[in-house]
Chains A and B, each alone.
Chain A
Amino acid sequence: MLNYLARRTLVMVVTLAIISALVFIIVNLPEGDYLSSVIAELESQGESVDRQKIQFLREQYGLDKPLWQQYLVWVGGLVQGDLGFSFELDLPVQDVLGDRIFLTIVVNFFSVLFIYIVAFPIGVYSATHQYSWGDYGLTFVGFLGLATPNFLLALILMYAANRFFGTSIGTLMAPEFLDQPMSFGKALSILEHLAAPVIIIGTAGTAGMIRRLRANLLDELYKQYVVTARAKGLAEGKLLVKYPLRMALNPFIADIGNLLPQVVSGSVIVSIVMGLETVGPPLVRALQSHDFFLSGAVLMFVAVLTVIGMFLSDLALAVLDPRIRLTGGAAK
């Protein structure tokens, strides 16, 4: 297991290093930096600029150094937990993001949980009742879910909630808890508001997962060992749970690796549409205003969340599934 752990960790560390370099390059592609833009803008308006403060910020965050040194300063800060300074909002990035990082993790965690909880029974039912009315109905709903972009579903649901129920399903908590420290009441309010975003973000993933579980289980159900077990008189329910379902579950677990990037990136757009207090809205604002530290920190956070999620899913699979070597796969 140490062999697997070391190799997989190395892949993860290298991936994160490459992502950090790519994020740094992409965010810095536009000419100049935020401070230069602000100085030029203020001077063109004839306003005075606090040059001492600008110089202090330049030196503190290494903006006066060559690009490769700026990258090292930025990454060095990130690993220590110093996310940098949002020049636009004149606040440390940590203060800007505040609870948003936690709320993003909560929304994504519950979205993945929702996908698994909903997809599992529906996928099993569809496979065990192939070509029944129930299977056709659920397949139709599944395709509908796959074909509908999350942000569009968010807009439709927000309109419907407002039009027919006179209520808003946007935001992740009641207005009185905004910018308040975490409390029992706030946690309860977050849980109450979670349902709509979780369903919206999870719909496409759920539909895809249902299709995959159905296909995997159908493959297993037609194998000879199932026929043999049935011929020996094993009860249908026991047969299903003991053999084919177990075999069909491995791709189900492995799929979290494909699911996470989809959920995380999908939640960014949905958060903007629904006005959720996650990292999505500050990311877009920071990218528009060239606020490097804020956009870089959010992009790295999303990347770390995805890479660690995939790492944990691979570890779970390696522990749970004594992997089968594919015929023709080269073993060392």
Chain B
Amino acid sequence: MSNDPLGYPLSKIGADYLRSAIGAALCLLPLAFGTPLKGGVWLLVALALMFVLFAVRTFARQMTRVWVSDEGIAVSGFIRRILRWELLSEVTLSYYSTFRGRGKGWMQLRLRGDGQTLRLESSLEDFDRVARHAVDAARRNGLALQPSTVKNFSAMGIEY
């Protein structure tokens, strides 16, 4: 494995902390004004908990370090995982956007193999390099990729 770990820089995931804070604050606002816990307020509390969970997940990503090399990929953080490229059995690259025009979205690379799943998002430093390694490994292992995954790689300038 290479010695230079990749991470999710605060400049890229800072907005997610902000989203969590705004979301939780908006949902808990009625409670701050003394609204009793009944009816739809419970739903707002549940949504606030989801935003807290999102903040925890963002923190977990901030703590995550990724090592990638010609041999495989290793992820450390709350959970440690190592996947050797030769054991890679499935690669999926999805694109998500909350905008109907589908701009301003983000990608998620899902790698499966050796009984484990690794999920990496495009806010990761040097995400393109990780994606290229995954495509090379998929090609070596003769994996069939979904058409949407192939198109998403193609949009990144990586042909399969």
Q: Are B106 and A322 in contact (CB under 8 A)?
A: no
Per a CB cutoff under 8 Å, which of B39, B92, B98 touches A8? B98
In the complex where A10-B22, A332-B123 touch, is A323 in contact with B96 (Cβ < 8 A)?
yes
Rounded to whole Å, the gap between the CB of B134 and the closest CB of chain A is: 15
Bin the interface of chain A by size: 35 or more
**Does A7 belong to the interface (CB within 8 Å)?**
yes
Rounded to whole Å, the gap between the CB of A93 and the closest CB of chain B is: 14
**Does A67 belong to the interface (CB within 8 Å)?**
no
Q: Are B122 and A322 in contact (CB under 8 A)?
A: no
- Complex Cα distance A329/B152, Å? 11
Q: Inside 8 A of B106's CB, which chain A residues have their CB?
A: 3, 331-332
Q: Are B23 and A323 in contact (CB under 8 A)?
A: no
**Does A330 belong to the interface (CB within 8 Å)?**
yes
Q: Are B148 and A324 in contact (CB under 8 A)?
A: yes
**Does A13 belong to the interface (CB within 8 Å)?**
yes
Q: Are A7 and B95 in contact (CB under 8 A)?
A: no
**Interface pick from B29-37, B67-75, B80-88, B135-143:** B29-37
Per-residue 0/1 for A250-274: is the Cβ within 8 Å of any B Cβ (1 yes, 0 no)? 0000100100000000000000000
Rounded to whole Å, the gap between the CB of B55 and the closest CB of chain A is: 9
**Does A235 belong to the interface (CB within 8 Å)?**
no
Per a CB cutoff under 8 Å, which of B33, B96, B100, B107 touches A257? B100
**Does A325 belong to the interface (CB within 8 Å)?**
yes
Rounded to whole Å, the gap between the CB of B45 and the closest CB of chain A is: 11
Rounded to whole Å, the gap between the CB of A257 and the closest CB of chain B is: 7
Question: Restricting to B51-67, which residues have a CB under 8 Å from any CB of A?
Answer: 51, 53-54, 57
Residue tally, chain B, CB below 8 Å to A: 47
Q: Are A7 and B30 in contact (CB under 8 A)?
A: no
**Does B149 belong to the interface (CB within 8 Å)?**
yes
Per a CB cutoff under 8 Å, which of A5, A8, A325 touches B107? A325
Rounded to whole Å, the gap between the CB of B109 and the closest CB of chain A is: 11
In the complex where A5-B50, A13-B26, A81-B38 touch, is A325 in contact with B95 (Cβ < 8 A)?
yes
Per a CB cutoff under 8 Å, which of A81, A314, A322, A327 touches B94? A322
**Does A2 belong to the interface (CB within 8 Å)?**
yes
In the complex where A2-B54, A78-B40 touch, is A331 in contact with B30 (Cβ < 8 A)?
no
The residue of chain B having its C-beta at the shortest distance from the C-beta of A321 within the complex is: B148
The residue of chain B having its C-beta at the shortest distance from the C-beta of A318 within the complex is: B96
The residue of chain B having its C-beta at the shortest distance from the C-beta of A79 within the complex is: B40
The residue of chain A having its C-beta at the shortest distance from the C-beta of B150 within the complex is: A324
Rounded to whole Å, the gap between the CB of B10 and the closest CB of chain A is: 13
In the complex where A6-B20, A10-B23, A11-B98 touch, is A322 in contact with B105 (Cβ < 8 A)?
no
**Does A190 belong to the interface (CB within 8 Å)?**
no
Q: Inside 8 A of A325's CB, which chain B residues have their CB?
A: 95, 102, 105, 107, 151-152, 155-156
Q: Are A3 and B102 in contact (CB under 8 A)?
A: no
Q: Inside 8 A of B53's CB, which chain A residues have their CB?
A: 2
Residues of A within 8 A of B (CB): 2-11, 13-14, 17, 72, 75-76, 78-82, 254, 257, 314, 318, 321-327, 329-332
Residues of B within 8 A of A (CB): 12, 16, 19-20, 22-23, 26-27, 30, 33, 35-36, 38-41, 44, 47, 50-51, 53-54, 57, 92, 94-98, 100, 102-108, 121-123, 146, 148-149, 151-152, 155-156
- Known contacts A6-B50, A325-B107, A331-B107; 15 additional CB pairs below 8 A are A3-B16, A7-B98, A79-B44, A81-B39, A81-B40, A254-B100, A321-B148, A322-B94, A324-B152, A325-B152, A329-B97, A329-B102, A329-B105, A331-B122, A332-B106
Closest 10 CB pairs of A and B: A81-B39, A325-B95, A6-B54, A80-B39, A322-B148, A325-B155, A323-B95, A332-B106, A10-B23, A79-B40
